[in-house]
């Protein structure tokens, strides 16, 4: 076989063995890396965590460290937004669901990515529900610790991702007391025993709820978490703050798991969570601020994600050199 043709052939194989992806705004930020593959899976890496976002399934997965693979992957998936009725603004049981209901696992989510020198913003957009409303999930990762406006909270640099859940121009059905956003929280790898529990009052602090992932691998220390404020902001069409509403948290007995609030008393690694928002009037904008994050307990020696293409190229080059030497 002609040596030149062989080299060209092996080079093409090396190229196609590298995962198809595009790096976003290379060089803009030396601490946050973003790629999008040909299936629209967004991968974000910092020195402290890795996040994969799958827009058309309305979910994100994250783990600690900059790893190509890991034994523990934490997942939050938005499932539905559903109105509820009843005697008050507290969702007591499933029978109170009624009115508008929308599945959030759908193919018409759109996304945009903005990477600057100091932060990453990814916006998922679901436009034009049947009642004219729009939904946005605006995710932020910062290079530096950053206060959340109008709160006492701070987003930790590179180890947390804050995301705004924004519902714009919702028109409530007659008799609706509010709506609930259903999601589920789980660990997806199942290599280690991972449990989820609600944070205690002391852990949560004032006006905040937290759900913790605890890992057998680290003697049931907390390795990751999902947290949210117990209030949300409401703005009018002029983007002026007009109200602050309470955000409720509901677990139903017939779901597979209700995370306990005390320690011990751990739950299995799956939780169905309903965040509830009372009727705040039509055609306004509601903004709520959850956060996901990791605890830096251990770092892996597994190759970082951004090194895989480089390593693939190096291995391919080494193979080509070896073959050429043998030909000689």
Total of domains in the chain: 1
Using one digit for the tens of pLDDT, what is the confidence trace for 276-301?
Answer: 999 999 999 999 999 999 997 644 43
Whole-number pLDDT of residue 9: 45
Residue 327 lies in a domain: no
Task: Measure the CA angle with vertex 227, ends 224 and 230; round to 5°.
Answer: 165
Predicted confidence at residue 300, as pLDDT, reads 41
- Residue 68: count of CB within 10 angstroms of its CB: 14
Domain contains 223: yes
- Which residues, at least 6 apart from 24, have a Cβ–Cβ distance to it below 8 Å? 34, 35, 36, 113, 115
Is residue 184 a part of any domain in this protein? yes
The pLDDT, as a whole number, for residue 13 is 42
Domain CATH number, residue 283: 2.70.98
Containing domain of residue 94, as a range? 53-301
**What was the pLDDT predicted at 81?**
97
> Does the residue 85 lie in any domain?
yes
Would you say residue 237 lies in a domain?
yes
Q: Which helix (H) or strand (E) holds 15?
A: helix 3-17
* Positions of the chain with pLDDT lower than 70, given as ranges: 1-27, 67-69, 253-270, 297-328
Residue 276 resides in a domain = yes
Handedness of CA 286, 120, 273, 127 (dihedral sign): positive
3-state secondary structure of 161: strand
Q: What is the pLDDT of residues 197-243, one digit of tens each?
A: 889 888 888 889 999 999 888 887 899 999 999 999 999 999 999 99
314 φψ region: left (φ > 0), alpha (ψ -120 to 50), beta (else): alpha
- Domain assignment present for residue 38? The answer is no
């Amino acid at each position: 076989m002609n040596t030149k043709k062989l080299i060209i052939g092996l080079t093409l194989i090396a190229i196609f063995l590298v995962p198809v992806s595009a790096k976003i705004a290379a060089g803009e930020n030396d601490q946050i890396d973003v790629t999008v593959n040909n299936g629209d899976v967004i991968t974000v890496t910092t020195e402290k965590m890795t996040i994969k976002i799958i827009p058309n399934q309305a979910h994100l997965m994250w783990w600690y460290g900059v790893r190509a693979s890991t034994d523990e992957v934490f997942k939050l998936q938005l499932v539905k937004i559903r109105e509820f009725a009843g005697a008050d603004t507290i969702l007591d049981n499933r029978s109170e669901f009624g009115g508008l209901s929308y599945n959030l696992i759908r193919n018409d989510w759109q996304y945009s990515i903005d990477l600057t020198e100091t932060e990453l913003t990814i916006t998922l957009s679901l436009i034009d529900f049947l009642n004219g409303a729009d939904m946005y999930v605006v995710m932020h990762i910062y290079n530096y610790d950053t206060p959340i406006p109008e709160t006492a909270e701070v987003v930790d640099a590179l180890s947390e991702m804050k995301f705004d859940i924004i519902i714009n121009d919702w028109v409530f059905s007659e008799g609706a007391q509010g709506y609930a956003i259903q999601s589920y929280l789980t660990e997806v790898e199942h290599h280690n025993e991972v449990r989820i529990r609600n944070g205690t009052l002391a852990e949560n602090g004032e006006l905040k709820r937290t759900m913790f992932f605890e890992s057998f691998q680290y003697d049931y220390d907390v390795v990751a978490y999902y947290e949210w404020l117990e209030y949300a902001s409401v703005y009018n069409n002029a983007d002026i703050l007009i109200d602050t509403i309470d955000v409720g948290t509901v677990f139903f007995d017939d779901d597979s798991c209700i995370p306990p609030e005390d320690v011990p008393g751990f739950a299995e690694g799956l939780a169905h969570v309903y965040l509830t928002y009372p009727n705040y009037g039509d055609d306004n904008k509601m903004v709520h601020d959850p956060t996901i994050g990791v605890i830096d307990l251990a770092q892996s020696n597994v190759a970082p994600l951004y090194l895989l293409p480089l390593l693939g190229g190096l291995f391919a080059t080494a193979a080509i050199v070896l073959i050429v030497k043998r030909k000689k």
